[in-house]
Structure 1
Amino acid sequence: MSVPAVPSSGGPIVSPGSAAAIIDADPTADLYPQPPVDPAVTPQARQVAALTDIQHRIQYLNNILTRTRADLTRVQRDPDPVLQLLTALTTGVAPASDPDSAATLATVDSVDAVDTATGRAAALSGAITSGQTELARRQREETRLRQEIERRARLATAIPQPAGNPASYRGGRLSSPLSGRLTSRFGTRFDPYYHVWQLHAGIDLAAATGTPILAAAGGRVTRAGWYGGYGNYTCIDHGRADGQRLSTCYGHQSKLLVSPGQQVRAGQVIGRVGSTGASTGPHLHFEVRLGGRPVDPLPWI
């Protein structure tokens, strides 16, 4: 699909062609801009910050493993004269490239085996095994932290807060912004637009272009405009929950219907579904953020 022209504000879209080079230079790079975060001064905030750090480590490991596997595939396609010689010695057939196997054998001792295709393949295979072990450990750590954060989210949504500004979070579950089909979950994934591993900071809900997007709770609009790969992007501050600033954000909209500073009520139409920014089709990218850091929206809605 064609990508709309980049507006003059909110940062450019990273092109799919340049994404691999960016990730190659920094496997933890964010290809989507991230809103500012609050200092992690409470135990809950430190947990969420630790989760974000682990998820970026998982992103790093996945991108490194992808690159290492590609290197291994290339090495395995390269001819290895030492391997050819060993094959000849064990089968009695001299390599076609070196009919004088005795002469070749005389040079074997001077060949640095690590600098052969076989040696490089062995080193790369070892790196892959080590990386997979570390990745599994980090994924277990991520699961533990996510379960604890989700447990606290269930407590936070179960306890109503004192009534204050009607356009603010007063406890209870957030409303779903639309009734679309869940097509992508929160967490590290192979990004369908950039074709690299990237932290998916929310969930994707499929819906037709123009479908109304509803505010998940009342609050104040803190961002409404173009925001890099998010395209047309809105964020709403709902007050505090679980000791942290609670906000929801809505990406890839075809049309924005609110502006920064505006107070909105729960269920108010704030925009329309679209496919702007780094998107492969019409859908809503929906985020829940605590202190500016993304958490899984599903326990909240």
Structure 2
Amino acid sequence: MGISAPPSSDGPMVSPGSAPALIAGDPGADLYPQPPVDAAVTPQARQVAALGDVQHRIQYLENILARTRDDLARVQRGPDPVLQLLTSLTAGGDADASPFAVADSADVVDTPTGRAVALSGAITSGQAELLRRRAEEARLRQEINRRVRTVPAVAAPARAVATVGGGRLGRPLSGRLTSRYGTRFDPYYHVWQLHPGVDLAAPIGTPIRAAADGRVSRAGWYGGYGNYTCIDHGRADGQRLSTCYGHQSELMVSPGQRIRAGQVIGLVGSTGASTGPHLHFEVRLGGRPVDPLPWI
């Protein structure tokens, strides 16, 4: 079936113009709707949840740093009246006037130079924390990805997930990888945002195939994802495993429908917050996104 629902049907899409204002109010805000997550009751689930927390902290820091750099650039472009006054005094102005009297005044605290020093210090501090958080993210991702190789066969609703290549899920299409999983500068919203999947470039109308057997849990418009399908594949490593497919031009399945691995579930498009035809593909454990590449 073909579905072309308006954005208001399930999660309004944030406009590019309003995204910076939303991020200014909450630098860690999600601009894409997120499905419910399961309680993190196993060590593996807690690890995936911790990864999500770190990634949102990285997103927050990146947006704060971007805004602080903009503030610093504006300050540096403007003249500093206090520096101009000091220059004129030391260049032969009023001999009785003391530059130290000017420097001691309360006005000096809030000057372009003073603000520049404060902003530069904030940037240095933020960059140091960002490096720490990225190291923490890398460690968690490495540990989570390492477990993929030892995950037992998934007990899917219809059949076990077949191992394909080095992963445990089939590739949904053969398109070129154009964007990886992780925090990035979003090409649509022009702010830093967690990219919870991978992008595979392909022409509009290219068939999208289910990565494994399962049951459709969602099929419809989902905010910035556009036409979006999620398939529940049972449990893996003690967590609910699902794959999701965004920006489709046409959906060819319905919620509740049983799906076989390799079955065509939709067609590549550029719906929602998309800058060109491609498939946005996600792997989620307990509803939380993880890097799809080790799985396929």
Answer whether TM exceeds 0.5 for this pair: yes
2:164 aligned with 1:160: no
Shift of 1:56: 0.2
1:259 correspondence with 2:259: no
Equivalent position of 1:124 in the other structure: 119
Equivalent residue number for residue 212 of structure 2: 217
Q: Which residue of 1 aligns with 2:282?
A: 287
Matching residue's letter, 1:169:
V
Letter in 2 for 1:54: V
Q: Distance in 1 between matches of 2:212 and 2:232?
A: 9
Please say if residues 168 and 219 of structure 1, whose CA atoms lie closer than 8 Å, have aligned partners that are also in contact. Answer: no
Identity of aligned residues (%): 77
Query: Aligned pair 1:204/2:199, yes or no?
Result: yes
Q: CA RMSD in A?
A: 1.9
8 Å Cα contact 1:19-1:194 kept in structure 2: yes
2:246, 2:281 within 8 Å by CA — same for their partners in 1?
A: yes
* 1:239 alignment partner in structure 2: 234
Query: Do 2:176 and 2:202's aligned partners in 1 also have CA atoms closer than 8 Å?
Result: yes
Counterpart residue identity of residue 62, structure 1? E
Provide structure 1 residue ranges, at least 5 long, that are not aligned to the other structure.
none
Q: Deviations over 1:204-259 (max 9, x none)?
A: 00000000000000100000000000000000000000110000000000000000
C-alpha change, 1:101 and 1:20, in structure 2 (3 Å) is farther
Q: Displacement, 1:5?
A: 8.1
TM-score normalised over the length of structure 2? 0.92
Counterpart residue number, 1:191? 186
* Count of residues paired in the alignment: 289
1:278 corresponds to: 273
User: How many angstroms apart in 1 are the aligned matches of 2:157 and 2:15?
Assistant: 42
Distance in 2, Cα, partners of 1:102 & 1:288: 73
Q: Answer yes or no: is the 8 Å Cα contact 2:154–2:234 preserved in 1.
A: no
1:174 is paired with a residue whose SS is coil
The answer on 1:51 being equivalent to 2:44 is no
| CA shift in 2, pair 1:161/1:12, >3 Å | closer
Write the distance in 2 (CA, Å) between the matches of 1:165 and 1:128: 50
CA contact (8 A) 2:13 2:273 kept: yes
Pick which of 222-231 and 109-118 moved more. 109-118
8 Å CA contact 2:202–2:279 kept in 1: the answer is yes
- Alpha-carbon offset, residue 150 of structure 1: 0.2
In structure 2, list runs of 5 or more residues that go unmatched.
none
Distance 1:165 1:35 in 2: 20
Cα separation, 2, equivalents of 1:101 and 1:236:
80
Q: Is the 8 A contact 1:167 1:263 kept in 2?
A: no
The 1:5/1:72 distance shift into structure 2, 3 A limit, reads farther
